[in-house]
Amino acid sequence: MSRIAKKPILIPKEIKVKIDKKKIIIKNINNKFFININKLVKIEKIKNKLIFRPYKENKNSWLQSGTIRSIVNNSIIGITKGFTKKLKVIGIGYKISVKNNIINLFVGYSHSIIYKLPKDVSAICPSQNEIIFKSINKQSIGQVAANIRFYKKPEPYKGKGIRYDNEIVYIKETKKK
């Protein structure tokens, strides 16, 4: 039984929530978010709270209820506050730049890597070695950051590569003869 599904979500005043049969629409003045609802989950709106329950009392229904509740909660947080992720590029000659939602990565290959950002994610580069992503969608911002990091993961001997801002890379001692 999911404990997450049992916690109701408080809806802020500036957000409007509309529940259809298979869709939930969350919107404020600027943004709009659509979430598909699993057929095993029942959502009730009572005053300014959303309550998630399964249609049938079984384990899979509770799992789906908890998942949908987390997705709806993340979208409400995303619309009100937004999400940010920061990546650092560490290495000699490594740099990153953004222009017109296209990221250019120079990370030690013979060619530059070009990555096109999705529509709901924006990026800025405060310096050549940092990039900050902003979005209202937690899933897409995490996926973009993971895709960029995949091009050059931090290696354990010198620590060169692309890493998250709060990531700790443990440096191994070099091999000795």
Dump pLDDT digits (tens) for 51-71.
998 888 888 888 888 999 999
Q: What is the pLDDT of residues 114-148, one digit of tens each?
A: 999 999 999 999 999 999 999 999 999 999 999 99
Instruction: Check whether 33 has a pLDDT greater than 90.
Output: no
Structure tokens at 151: 């091009």
Question: Where do you find CATH 3.90.930.12 in the chain?
Answer: 9-80, 83-164
Q: What is the mean pLDDT of residues 73-78?
A: 92
- The CATH number assigned to the domain with range 83-164 reads 3.90.930.12
pLDDT of residue 2: 63
Cα separation, 70 vs 76, in Å, equals: 10
pLDDT recorded at residue 21: 79
Starting at the earlier edge strand, list the strands of the sheet with 130-135.
121-127, 130-135, 83-90, 161-164
In this prediction, residue 1 carries a pLDDT of 58
pLDDT classification of 79: cutoffs 50, 70, 90: very high
Exposure b/e, 55-92, CB count within 10 A at least 16 = b: eeeeeebbbbbbbbbbbbbbbbebbeeebebebbbbbe
CATH class of this structure's domain 9-80 = alpha beta
Element (H, E) at 2: none
For residue 59, give every residue at least 6 positions away whose Cβ sits within 8 Å of its Cβ, in sequence order, or none: 1
Check residue 103 and give its pLDDT.
95
| Mean residue pLDDT across the chain | 91
Asked whether the beta carbons of 85 and 132 are under 8 A apart, the reply is yes
